Structures are given as structure tokens and as C-alpha cells.
């Protein structure tokens, strides 16, 4: 008799504006297997749940956060990926601003913390493979969809957007061409407001124009950015 369990795991990315770092949200397991090791938030899907309901519930229970942007990433199903049972995991990835949440671990999690993507601890199960897959997807997708704005304040200096892309892609960008390209698409709106950090001159603020973006798409346009 076939007996396969279905689980969900979540790779949640956050951007620390002050330190210009991309972080991943991890939980410390308080049960076996891999007790006291770091892992992605997640768990088994209940009989009455959809996959999306399950991953949202696990995030809320284990970390105390909810996600606005969450999409299915990939299905991981190696035979021995979980030493207890045959478990197939449907992974999701999401984007949040860490400063708007207070982390709170419960259920199977002893702790919940943000870790910089280049300084992750050893991860339980096959979660490093899941993280690598999610990071590759994110770095590809920010080039042709405006998902990166989920990591910024609703109003931001343009330098924040440049730093975000530089950090995500781990490469320098041509600042002048980058700004020229985005402004030409009409999806970035310059505001009559400024931001002062205490260093240097006040910077103009911008915001992402969602309506203009969908109008661009309806006309066959693209958010394709050549950095």
C-alpha cells in the first residue's frame, strides 16, 4: 500500500535596508529529526487544507509572519529526504519587509531568526537545495517582473532600488542606464517628496505604479531589465 505524505516548505526573503543584505527566515527545530538544527518553516499538509493554506498556516505558527507575495517554487521528492517517512515537499518562496514583523516561534520551532543569504548555518533535510533553487528563481525573476518592490518601503529613494538589485544579483549595475530603463517603462513614479538620512543632500522619493505596470502588460510591454 502506497503511503506518501505531502508537506510544504517556505523560503522567505527579506531585505535589510540599513545593512544592504538579503536575508532568509529560518526556524530552529525543537523535535527530532534534526533537533536544534536550523530549517525552513514548513510542515505536513492537513487533510482539509490546500497547499497555499498549509504554507500560510505553517509560517504563522512557526514564525508569526504572514506573506503578501508567495508563489510555488518546485516539488522536492527524493526518496530519503525525510528519515521518518516518504515525504514529498512542495516549496514556496515569498518576499517580505522584515521590519514590519515581530518574529514569534511556536509549535515545532524553538526559535525563528533572519540569516544573511551568504552566511547560512547548516540546514536540516534537503533545505539547502531548496534555498539554492529559490535564490536562483528570485535572481532570474527580478529581471523580468517587478517583484523586488515587495522588499522596499512603499516610497523609496532610487538609491535603495539600485542597492537592492546590486545585492540580489551580486553584481554591479550601470546606475545611469538602470534608472533610464526603469523610468522609460513608466512604472516608477517620481514624487514631490524627499528623504533625508542625515548624510548628504535630501533624496527624491519614488514609488512603484502598479496601475501603469498592468497597463504596460496589457499592451504587450515587458518589465525586462538589462542590468
Could you tell me if 178 and 155 are in contact, meaning their C-beta atoms sit under 8 angstroms apart? no
Whether residue 175 sits in one domain with residue 207? yes
Range of the domain at 43: 5-128
pLDDT of residue 78 exceeding 80, the answer is yes
Whether residue 160 sits in one domain with residue 124? no
Residue 156 in any domain: the answer is yes
Q: What CATH number did the domain enclosing 150 receive?
A: 1.10.10.10
Whether residue 33 sits in one domain with residue 124? yes
The whole-number pLDDT of residue 226 equals: 66
The whole-number pLDDT of residue 227 equals: 55
| List of long-range contacts for 33-38, beta carbons under 8 Å, 24+ apart | 33/82, 33/83, 33/84, 33/124, 34/124, 34/125, 36/110, 37/121, 37/122, 37/123, 37/124, 38/115, 38/120, 38/121, 38/122, 38/123, 38/124
Cell of 16: 535589510
Q: What CATH number did the domain enclosing 66 receive?
A: 3.90.79.10
Residue 44: pLDDT band with limits 50, 70, 90 = very high
Whether residue 190 sits in one domain with residue 90? no
Whether residue 91 sits in one domain with residue 189? no
pLDDT of residue 19 exceeding 80, the answer is no
The predicted model gives 30-47 an average pLDDT of 97
Percent of the chain residues past pLDDT 70, beyond the cut: 98
Q: In this structure, what are the phi and psi dihedrals at residue 221, rounded to the nearest 5 degrees?
A: -75, 175
Whether residue 63 sits in one domain with residue 28? yes
Look at 50-64, 66-80, 126-140, 191-205 and tell me which has the smallest mean pLDDT: 191-205
The whole-number pLDDT of residue 35 equals: 97
Model confidence, pTM:
0.91
Residue 223 in any domain: the answer is no
- C-alpha to C-alpha distances, 28 to 3, 66, 107, 117, nearest whole angstrom: 28, 19, 11, 16
Residue 133 in any domain: the answer is no
Domain count, the chain: 2
Mean pLDDT of the chain: 92
Whether residue 152 sits in one domain with residue 71? no
Whether residue 170 sits in one domain with residue 214? yes
Percent of the chain residues past pLDDT 90, beyond the cut: 70
The whole-number pLDDT of residue 198 equals: 66
pLDDT of residue 102 exceeding 80, the answer is yes
Whether residue 53 sits in one domain with residue 165? no
Residue 40 in any domain: the answer is yes
Residue 14: pLDDT band with limits 50, 70, 90 = very high
> Of 128, 155, 173, which residue constitutes the final position of a domain?
128
> Of 96, 128, 160, which residue constitutes the final position of a domain?
128
Whether residue 157 sits in one domain with residue 123? no
Whether residue 120 sits in one domain with residue 44? yes
The whole-number pLDDT of residue 17 equals: 81
Three-state DSSP state, 14: strand
Residue 20: pLDDT band with limits 50, 70, 90 = confident
Amino acid at each position: 500500500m502506497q503511503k506518501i505524505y505531502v508537506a510544504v516548505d517556505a523560503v522567505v526573503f527579506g531585505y535589510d535596508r540599513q545593512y544592504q543584505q538579503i536575508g532568509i527566515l529560518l526556524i530552529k527545530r525543537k523535535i527530532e529529526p534534526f533537533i536544534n538544527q536550523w530549517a525552513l518553516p514548513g510542515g505536513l499538509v492537513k487533510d482539509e487544507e490546500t497547499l497555499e493554506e498549509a504554507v500560510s498556516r505553517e509560517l504563522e505558527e512557526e514564525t508569526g509572519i504572514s506573506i503578501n507575495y508567495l508563489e510555488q517554487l518546485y516539488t522536492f521528492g527524493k526518496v530519503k529526504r525525510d528519515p521518518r517517512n516518504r515525504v514529498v515537499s512542495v516549496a514556496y518562496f515569498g518576499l517580505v519587509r522584515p521590519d514590519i514583523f515581530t518574529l514569534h516561534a511556536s509549535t515545532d520551532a524553538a526559535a525563528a531568526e533572519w540569516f544573511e543569504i551568504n552566511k547560512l548555518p547548516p540546514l536540516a533535510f534537503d533545505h539547502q537545495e531548496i534555498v539554492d533553487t529559490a535564490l536562483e528563481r528570485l535572481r532570474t525573476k527580478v529581471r523580468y517582473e517587478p517583484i523586488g518592490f515587495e522588499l522596499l518601503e512603499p516610497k523609496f529613494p532610487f538609491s535603495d532600488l539600485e542597492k537592492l538589485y546590486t545585492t540580489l544579483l551580486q553584481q554591479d549595475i550601470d546606475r545611469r542606464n538602470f534608472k533610464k530603463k526603469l523610468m522609460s517603462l513608466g512604472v516608477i513614479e517620481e514624487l514631490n517628496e524627499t528623504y533625508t538620512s542625515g548624510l548628504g543632500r535630501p533624496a527624491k522619493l519614488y514609488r512603484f505604479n502598479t496601475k501603469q505596470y498592468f497597463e504596460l502588460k496589457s499592451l504587450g510591454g515587458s518589465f525586462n531589465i538589462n542590468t
